[in-house]
A and B are shown apart, each in its own frame.
Chain A
Amino acid sequence: MIAELGLAALWLAAALAALQLIAGFAAVRNPAGELASLVRPAAVVQGVLCAFAFVMLLWLFMITDLSVKLVAMNSHSMKPMVFKLAGAWGNHEGSMLLWITVMAMAGGLIAWVERRLPEKTMMATLGAQAFVGLGFYAFLLLSSNPFERLPQPAVEGLGLNPLLQDIGLAFHPPTLYFGYVGLSVAFSFAVGALLTRQVTPDFARAMRPWVLGAWVFLTIGITAGSYWAYYELGWGGWWFWDPVENASLMPWLAATALLHSASVLAARDALRAWTIMLGVVAFSMSMVGTFLVRSGILTSVHAFAVDPERGSFILALLTIYIGGALVLFALRAGSVAEGERFATTSREGALVFNNVMLCAILGVVLMGTLYPLVTEAFDVRVSVGPPYFNPVGAIFTFPMLAIMAVGPLLRWRRDKLERVRLPLAIVAAATVAVLALVLVLGGAGILPLLGLAFAIGLAIASFLPLRGRNLRRVPLAVWGMVIAHFGVAVALYGMASETAFTKERLAAVQVGGSTDVGPWTVSLAGVEPVAGPNWTAIEARLLASYEGGEPIPLGPQARTFWAPIQETTESVLATRWNGQLYAVIGNQAEDGRWQLRLWWKPWVTLIWYGGLLVALGGVLALVGRLAEDLKRRHVRARVAERRREAKA
């Protein structure tokens, strides 16, 4: 009964999306028509229905209803509750339902609150949103129904991939989905503005919170995903240039560019066509990402739905949306009037430069990700990894970081470099000093060396926009920028330091023996079997001491799950303020020694703290902008009221 209720709600929501599409575009032609009044309510009710359907799915997973195929395939009655619930979206059908739920709720929200734009543009925007939504409803209802029943209820569920039974990962996919969906809203705004030729600062202000929100979620999703790969896979790395990692990085790069160009449009009414284009590109990248992950055409641990039919469905959607948007762009971009002009040396100029660099990095990542697919068509199998991505990406990243340090110091429209000579000299001196210091100490490759130096330079530069200002009166959005840029510097320092200074030790150790890695001494006190709710494991008892200090007990495990049967490596971390010790246990050799793999990674945690700072900056900017918008709305309402009074 619950499953049928969910399915009915989903069909109703799809019907409302069709209504919203037709009424929306009818309203663009005739804003005074009766259909226009249907559009906003249709969007709101659609959001409620989808939320209802998703709650029904959660309920099915909560009670482990094994007559529903999805539950039987992905859950197990013995699983801890939080993973039962997370199982609802840890699979293809459930995650698509989550996607469409978030999207419908976002559509409902803009229909409900967004009143700044001309009504005609709003109607076109909501129509476009319904158009995108309909494709996903069709996908869900026709080819991947999450509420499908089994002819006979299963006796027991098949369980969830143990690699995915992790609290961080339970919330990783939804976070990325919020990001993807936020970009779909930005896309709808862009299409709406293009259809009605209303590419105005108001459009940028209406779109910006969605881009900012999407960007914050993507940042958190990527940071969390990276940390998960770091400790769960047991390989000691934090970024593998895996296609699925790239699939989340590409929308982030596009969203970063879009965020900055939308700011230029909002503040200065410049970069109109460029912002629209980035809106299309950002959503395209979300779709490309979804396609790569869901179609299973690339090798990845994430590819849990290897199904050609689904792949081609997403590819068809991608072609329709992106092809359609690009055609529309080609037809209309010429008639979008040119925005305000600016000199090369100006805030706008710096932002344009960084936008182009971000797009170049995006292109490099995209080509590297798709290249194996292209060669496979010619029956040549290749894989593309760090030897390609690191240097080629760096060629565009370092100039971008340099301009990122300068840009926020410049004035809008027109400026002279002489005006900011002093702060620039400080930043350059710090960068060169670090460069020289690391060169003298030696041991770092060229990229980590540059990374360390630029990180310090950027860290200083990120606070310079606050120079000479009354800190209490600095707007929240500026604080957001400062903290996000500082976060980039922090993360960069972590990455460079990890790459340059990591010490690794692989050793076979007797029980009672010990080994060294960097400043740590690690001794193996014993190896014991342990058991958890759905696994058994062998656990090493390690005692790790930093420079002869108090030993810390650590217990890395080799786990065997029994539903489904799978072995995983559970690494352990000893975190200090200046880095992490990372330990993994391997096999036992014939002579009784145990393999231990240890890494000392100085400052590695800064990578993820930096990522979180970037996200925090985004949140501050979002709150600041929303508060400004509310204030503006309030002022407008009061002005209108006074006018009315004056008339009376």
Chain B
Amino acid sequence: MNALKAKHQRLVLIVIALVALVGAGLLAAWALRNQANYFYLPAQMVADPPEVGQPVRLGGMVEEGSLKTLADGVTVSFSVTDKDAAKVPVRFTGILPDLFVEGSGVVAEGKMGPDGVFIADNLLAKHDENYVPRELQEMSQHQQAAVVEETY
């Protein structure tokens, strides 16, 4: 075994490195399928809700008049809607992002609670004119298109 190893050391090294890297790749691929965090629009979430506790992201508009602060002063509840008027209630405990207002776009990261309320761990709002979460940017284009369709 030793003699064989010495003779083909380069080959053995290459094989070991390849096995390790392919193993890493397979492991990563498997983990990605399980751990990737899927993006939902409100209509999709209403039609086909994710499993309770699975981390997902929800993107849409904060419905006008739905934003309420609960009694503890740090938890808020609001609804996220989209152009199909599907609605998902959301609860968030924390400090709201700077440009979070009713009627603006938001991406909520979190999971579905057992009571059908989406529990957000983090809210991504439009930061400024230059930085908009990508999903929001595309969504507002969709919505603009929808508005144009409706008007004509």
Contacts of A589 in B (CB 8 A): 69, 73
**Bound: A383/B37 CA distance, A:** 5
Contact with B17, one of A299, A338, A356, A564 (Cβ below 8 angstroms): A356
B21:A363 contact, CB within 8 angstroms: yes
A384:B21 contact, CB within 8 angstroms: no
Interface of A is mostly: mixed
Contact with B74, one of A506, A566, A568 (Cβ below 8 angstroms): A506
**Bound: A338/B11 CA distance, A:** 10
Among listed B80-88, B112-120, B126-134, B144-152, interface-contacting one = B126-134
**Bound: A461/B127 CA distance, A:** 46
B73:A359 contact, CB within 8 angstroms: no
Contact with A387, one of B9, B29, B55 (Cβ below 8 angstroms): B55
Nearest residue (CB) in B for A299 is B134
Contact with A341, one of B9, B29, B94, B128 (Cβ below 8 angstroms): B9
Contacts of A586 in B (CB 8 A): 74, 94-96
A508:B95 contact, CB within 8 angstroms: no
B21:A360 contact, CB within 8 angstroms: yes
B21:A368 contact, CB within 8 angstroms: no
Shortest CB–CB separation between residue B84 and chain A, in angstroms?
A: 17
A506:B94 contact, CB within 8 angstroms: yes
**Bound: A159/B76 CA distance, A:** 34
A388:B6 contact, CB within 8 angstroms: no
Contacts of B6 in A (CB 8 A): 341
B27:A382 contact, CB within 8 angstroms: no
Contacts of B17 in A (CB 8 A): 352, 356, 359
A360:B134 contact, CB within 8 angstroms: no
Contacts of A303 in B (CB 8 A): 131
**Bound: A363/B94 CA distance, A:** 35
Asked if B99 lies at the interface with its beta carbon under 8 angstroms from chain A, I say yes
Contacts of A357 in B (CB 8 A): 20
Contact digits for A337-361, partner B, Cβ 8 Å, 1 yes 0 no: 0100110000000001000110111
Asked if B24 lies at the interface with its beta carbon under 8 angstroms from chain A, I say yes
Asked if B72 lies at the interface with its beta carbon under 8 angstroms from chain A, I say yes
A593:B38 contact, CB within 8 angstroms: no
Contact with A587, one of B9, B24, B93, B96 (Cβ below 8 angstroms): B96
B21:A356 contact, CB within 8 angstroms: yes
Asked if B49 lies at the interface with its beta carbon under 8 angstroms from chain A, I say no
Contacts of B21 in A (CB 8 A): 356, 359-360, 363
**Bound: A597/B74 CA distance, A:** 9
Q: Report the interface size class on chain B.
A: 35 or more
A506:B93 contact, CB within 8 angstroms: yes
B95:A584 contact, CB within 8 angstroms: yes
**Bound: A336/B25 CA distance, A:** 28
B9:A569 contact, CB within 8 angstroms: no
Asked if B31 lies at the interface with its beta carbon under 8 angstroms from chain A, I say yes
B74:A161 contact, CB within 8 angstroms: no
A595:B38 contact, CB within 8 angstroms: no
Contact digits for B80-113, partner A, Cβ 8 Å, 1 yes 0 no: 0000000000000111101100000000000000
Asked if B36 lies at the interface with its beta carbon under 8 angstroms from chain A, I say yes
Asked if B46 lies at the interface with its beta carbon under 8 angstroms from chain A, I say no
Nearest residue (CB) in A for B19 is A356
A593:B73 contact, CB within 8 angstroms: yes
Asked if A591 lies at the interface with its beta carbon under 8 angstroms from chain B, I say yes
Shortest CB–CB separation between residue B85 and chain A, in angstroms?
A: 21
Among listed A148-156, A389-397, A544-552, A618-626, interface-contacting one = A389-397
Asked if B35 lies at the interface with its beta carbon under 8 angstroms from chain A, I say yes
Contacts of A367 in B (CB 8 A): 25, 28-29, 32
Contact digits for A557-568, partner B, Cβ 8 Å, 1 yes 0 no: 010000011111
Complex A-B: 14 CB contacts under 8 Å? A299-B133, A356-B17, A360-B23, A372-B36, A381-B38, A382-B39, A385-B55, A387-B55, A388-B31, A396-B24, A507-B73, A586-B74, A586-B95, A595-B74
Taking Cβ atoms with an 8 Å cutoff, the residues of A that contact B are 161, 163, 234-235, 273-274, 299, 301, 303-304, 338, 341-342, 352, 356-357, 359-361, 363-364, 367-368, 371-372, 375, 380-385, 387-388, 391-392, 395-396, 506-508, 558, 564-569, 584, 586-587, 589-591, 593, 595, 597
Q: Which 3 A-B pairs have the closest CB atoms?
A: A508-B73, A586-B95, A567-B98
